[in-house]
């Protein structure tokens, strides 16, 4: 089957082209003004748009619409409503009004709110985000018109991830425009952030998946001995993609293209069974919606094809986990990328000012960035020897580092390094100009040509949080800079000094070396950079007074909204570890212990049978194996009892920071202790007797 990509691309999206074609000219114009300039939408236009949207959706086979939103669970939510409007004579019309398009009233009481809303105050509202186009979600069993929305409480507090993100985009827009005006740009109306999210995932066989309760309940393996082969041969990264996986990718791409998601790049990742997809970047909120759809679609398509897609940050101990590279830049409505250094960055004062602002923002608010990438799963990655360290630093690359150094050493920069010519030594190979800078794979925050790549983000996460933080901290620094520069008497001088002084004050955040090395951990400590090791340690950054002040100042979060998010994070952490602990207990008690005892019995029976048959035959191997198994079984049983005890204690504690820390320090540690003897047993017990598929089965049977 060959796909007509041009035909299907965006075919399920109520995009600009569709609106232009279907809406009356005047309505289209007003709609555009709302989307592009945030003009208020008049109710009449909303009615016209709703009607056309419905007609279009009906043509596509939709029967229902939903306000599609992103609560604090980090995934998406939808409640379907049919278009029907019964007429009282046994027939129905199909209707969809402007009011229904603009506002929804889902019951909010069962979504996490972190205390923002008492359960008896159930009312919540969803409000249409018309800057992200409506789309049709088509699955084998349903066709639903989805309207991207923001979700808030009766009192107007944001109960979702979308609202703060949109607010942060506005904040950055305002402040970046102020800076552009200082550089004489009088025409740009808006600055938006562009984001491209690279998504890593694993694919495993569905049959194997369904035999593992840990994967079913927690998304990661809680037991599992290392297979004889892992990723040590480096033969998976960019390797030939297996047929079955290619089949998945083909269908996956097709589904994404229909949704107007520009799925562009796909390849094998470092670990066996690990892959990556990257769409082309888009406006921040659209990229965020799209990433949610990427995750959801990957899971659905895999399931349809007898596979399971694991999005967890660390599905398997001992091999690489998954992350999400959040590529971020700022762009004007005139198409100027503010992070494009040009050929000679040392002369590009505007670029250098934005660069300096970002360095300062990242240095001053490293803890908030770290927080924004915190999930229970990401705790397994950050700081482990495969992912960016938990320490935030910025990689600039040789060319910019050189410019920065000139500023620090001489108070100005007078030259920029150029990319050299690529010479392979083979006449028939093309010669070309190399980039001025090599890549760095270990930096958590890397400049990559004309964008920054925030690489700490976890693979399960909504990218709303990291971008909300990024936009806000950069807006805050730009605001401070604009305040000072607008008051300056000699602007060129003030600009020059600001770049120089900012770079000098924040150069400690720049690190171009190997972020995985122990030396860096020591060096970062000398530099005074925070090294926040786990999610529960990261949460307090969100509610410290300086953070509250900034988020309130730029209208991104209220104090109550921030406190609620901190609470939700502690809760999420505790609940996650609790489910993991209970799953381990369940698997250990109901599967591993019985299977081991059964195998042990078969060994004993074998010994008895052999001895009965002939006293001359040596049974010492069986007996040694039995002894070995007994020792580990005993250790395991003790560890199991301990885990049950501490998990019970944790569950009885009051929700909050203390409980979160207890789960991390005590329960999580006890889980580790249970895993060790269990994994040893897996190596001692016959494969046919082990109660679930091994690591080898999971990662090499796709
Ligand atoms: P890699 O990280 O492997 O070098 P690419 O350079 O192809 O990959 O880009 C990765 C992601 O960054 C893609 O989603 C791409 O669209 C996105 N990207 C490219 N340019 C920008 C930009 N100016 N702003 C934001 N994202 C960008
Ligand atoms: Mg990348």
Integer Rg of the chain from CA: 28
Are 351 and 209 part of one and the same domain? yes
For residue 143, the enclosing domain spans 5-160
Tokens matching residue 670: 């006890």
Confidence at residue 144, expressed as pLDDT on a 0 to 100 scale: 97
Same domain, 263 and 206: yes
In this structure, are 527 and 397 located in the same domain?
yes
Same domain, 190 and 293: yes
Judge if 31 and 52 occupy the same domain: yes
431 lies in some domain: no
| CATH code of residue 481 | 3.30.590.10
Same domain, 11 and 134: yes
Residue 638 lies in a domain: yes
423 Cα to the center of ligand 1, angstroms: 26
Domain boundary residue, one of 112, 138, 160: 160
| Ligand 1 binding site (Cβ under 6 Å of any ligand atom) | 194-196, 198, 278-281, 325, 327-329, 337, 448, 450-451, 453
Residue 496 confidence (pLDDT): 94
Please check whether residues 393 and 457 belong to one and the same domain: yes
Ligand number nearest CA of 194 is 1
Phi and psi dihedrals of 232, rounded to 5? -65, -20
List, in order, residues 6 or more apart from 477 with CB less than 8 Å away: 357, 358, 360, 361, 364
Atom of ligand 1 nearest to the CA of 197: 14
Q: For residue 208, report the distance from its CA to the centre of ligand 1, in Å.
A: 35
Residue 252: inside a domain, yes or no? Answer: yes
* Residue that terminates a domain, selected from 501, 524, 557: 557
The predicted pLDDT at position 691 comes to 98
pLDDT at 107: 82
* Same domain as 551, residue 535: yes
Question: Does one domain contain both 469 and 326?
Answer: yes
Question: For a substitution probing ligand 1, which of 278, 323, 435, 439 has the most ligand atoms within 8 Å of its CB?
Answer: 278
Question: How far does residue 585's CA lie from ligand 1's centre (Å)?
Answer: 43
Q: Is residue 356 part of a domain?
A: yes
For residue 337, which atom of ligand 1 is closest to its CA?
23
ipTM for the predicted complex: 0.95
Q: For residue 293, how far is its CA from the centre of ligand 2 (angstroms)?
A: 20
- Establish if 110 belongs to a structural domain: yes
Q: What pairs with residue 147 in β-bridges? A: 67
Q: Which atom of ligand 1 is nearest to the CA of 279?
A: 14
Q: What is the CATH number of the domain that holds 603?
A: 1.20.120.1560
Total domains present in the chain: 3
pLDDT along the chain (702 residues), means of 10: 88 97 96 88 93 97 96 91 94 95 87 74 86 94 95 90 97 98 97 97 97 98 89 75 90 96 88 93 97 97 97 95 97 97 93 97 98 96 79 94 91 84 71 69 91 97 98 98 97 95 96 88 95 96 97 97 96 97 98 98 95 93 95 98 98 96 97 98 96 95 82
Distance 132 CA to ligand 2 centre (A): 24
CATH number of the domain bearing residue 103: 3.10.20.70
| 451 within domain boundaries | yes
Contact call for residues 191 and 176 (beta carbons, < 8 A): yes
| Judgement on whether residues 409 and 547 belong to the same structural domain of the protein | yes
Q: Is residue 566 part of a domain?
A: no
C-alpha 441 to ligand 2 mean position (Å) = 8
Are 29 and 106 part of one and the same domain? Answer: yes
| Domain termination site, one of 125, 160, 195 | 160
Which atom in ligand 1 lies closest to the alpha carbon of residue 325? 2
CA angle at 505 for the pair 504 and 507, rounded to the nearest 5°: 65
Among candidate residues 595, 597, 677, the one with its CA nearest the CA of residue 640: 677
Cβ pair 476, 361 in contact under 8 A: yes
530 and 549 housed in the same domain: yes
> Does 132 fall in a domain?
yes
């Amino acid at each position: 089957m060959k796909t007509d990509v041009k035909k299907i691309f965006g075919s399920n999206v109520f995009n600009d082209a569709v609106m232009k074609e279907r809406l009356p000219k005047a309505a289209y114009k007003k709609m555009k003004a709302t989307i592009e300039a945030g003009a208020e939408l008049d109710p009449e236009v909303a009615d016209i748009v709703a009607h056309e949207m419905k007609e279009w959706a009906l043509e596509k086979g939709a029967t229902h619409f939903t306000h599609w939103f992103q609560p604090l669970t980090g995934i998406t939510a939808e409640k379907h409503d049919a278009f029907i409007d019964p007429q009282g004579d046994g027939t129905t019309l199909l209707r969809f009004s402007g009011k229904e398009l603009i506002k929804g009233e889902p019951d909010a009481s069962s979504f996490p709110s972190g205390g923002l809303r008492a359960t008896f105050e159930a009312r919540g509202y969803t409000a249409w985000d018309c800057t992200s186009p409506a789309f049709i979600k088509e699955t084998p069993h349903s066709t639903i018109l989805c309207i991207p929305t923001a979700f808030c409480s009766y009192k107007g507090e944001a109960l979702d991830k979308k609202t703060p993100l949109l607010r942060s985009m506005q904040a950055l827009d305002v402040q970046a425009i102020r800076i552009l005006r200082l550089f004489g740009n009088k025409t740009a109306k808006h600055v938006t952030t562009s984001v491209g999210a690279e998504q890593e995932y694993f694919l495993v066989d569905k049959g194997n998946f369904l035999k593992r309760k840990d994967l079913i309940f927690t998304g990661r393996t809680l037991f599992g001995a290392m297979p004889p082969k892992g990723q040590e041969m480096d033969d998976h990264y960019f390797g030939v993609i297996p047929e079955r996986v290619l089949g998945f990718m083909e269908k996956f791409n097709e589904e994404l293209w229909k949704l107007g998601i520009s799925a562009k790049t796909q390849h094998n990742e470092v670990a066996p069974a690990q892959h990556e997809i990257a769409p082309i970047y888009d406006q921040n909120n659209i990229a965020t919606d799209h990433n949610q759809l990427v995750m959801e679609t990957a899971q659905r398509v895999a399931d349809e094809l007898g596979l399971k897609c694991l999005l967890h940050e660390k599905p398997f101990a001992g091999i690489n986990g998954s992350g999400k590279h959040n590529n971020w830049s700022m762009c004007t409505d005139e198409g100027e990328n503010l992070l494009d250094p040009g050929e000679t960055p040392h002369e590009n004062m505007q670029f250098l000012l934005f660069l300096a602002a970002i360095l300062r923002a990242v240095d001053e608010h490293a803890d908030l960035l770290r927080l924004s990438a915190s999930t229970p799963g990401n705790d397994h990655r950050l700081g482990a020897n495969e992912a960016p360290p938990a320490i935030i630093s910025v990689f600039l690359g040789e060319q910019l580092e050189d410019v920065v150094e000139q500023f620090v050493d001489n108070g100005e920069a007078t030259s920029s390094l150029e990319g050299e010519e690529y010479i392979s030594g083979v006449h028939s190979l093309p010669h070309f100009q190399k980039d001025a800078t090599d890549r760095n794979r270990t930096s958590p925050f890397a400049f990559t040509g004309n964008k920054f790549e925030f690489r700490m983000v976890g693979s399960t996460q909504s990218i709303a949080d990291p971008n909300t933080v990024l936009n806000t901290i950069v807006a805050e620094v730009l605001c401070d800079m604009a305040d000072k520069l607008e008051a300056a008497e000699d602007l060129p001088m003030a600009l020059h000094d600001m770049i120089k002084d900012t770079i000098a004050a924040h150069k400690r955040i720049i690190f171009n070396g190997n972020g995985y090395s122990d030396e860096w951990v020591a060096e970062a400590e000398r530099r005074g950079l925070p090294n926040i090791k786990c999610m529960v340690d990261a949460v307090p950054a969100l509610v410290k007074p300086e953070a509250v002040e900034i988020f309130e100042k730029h209208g991104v979060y209220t104090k109550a909204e921030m406190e609620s998010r901190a609470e939700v994070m502690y809760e999420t952490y505790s609940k996650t570890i609790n489910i993991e602990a209970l799953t381990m207990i369940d698997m250990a008690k109901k599967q591993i212990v019985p299977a081991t005892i059964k195998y042990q019995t078969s060994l004993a029976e074998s010994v008895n049978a052999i001895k009965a048959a002939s006293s001359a035959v040596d049974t010492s191997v069986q007996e040694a194996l039995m002894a070995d198994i007994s020792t580990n079984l005993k250790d395991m049983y003790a560890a199991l009892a301990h885990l049950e005890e501490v998990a019970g204690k944790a569950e009885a504690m009051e929700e909050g920071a203390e409980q979160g820390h207890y789960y991390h320090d005590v329960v999580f540690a006890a889980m580790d202790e249970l895993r060790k003897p269990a994994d040893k047993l897996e190596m001692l017990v016959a494969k046919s007797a082990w109660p679930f598929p091994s690591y080898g089965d999971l990662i090499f049977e796709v």
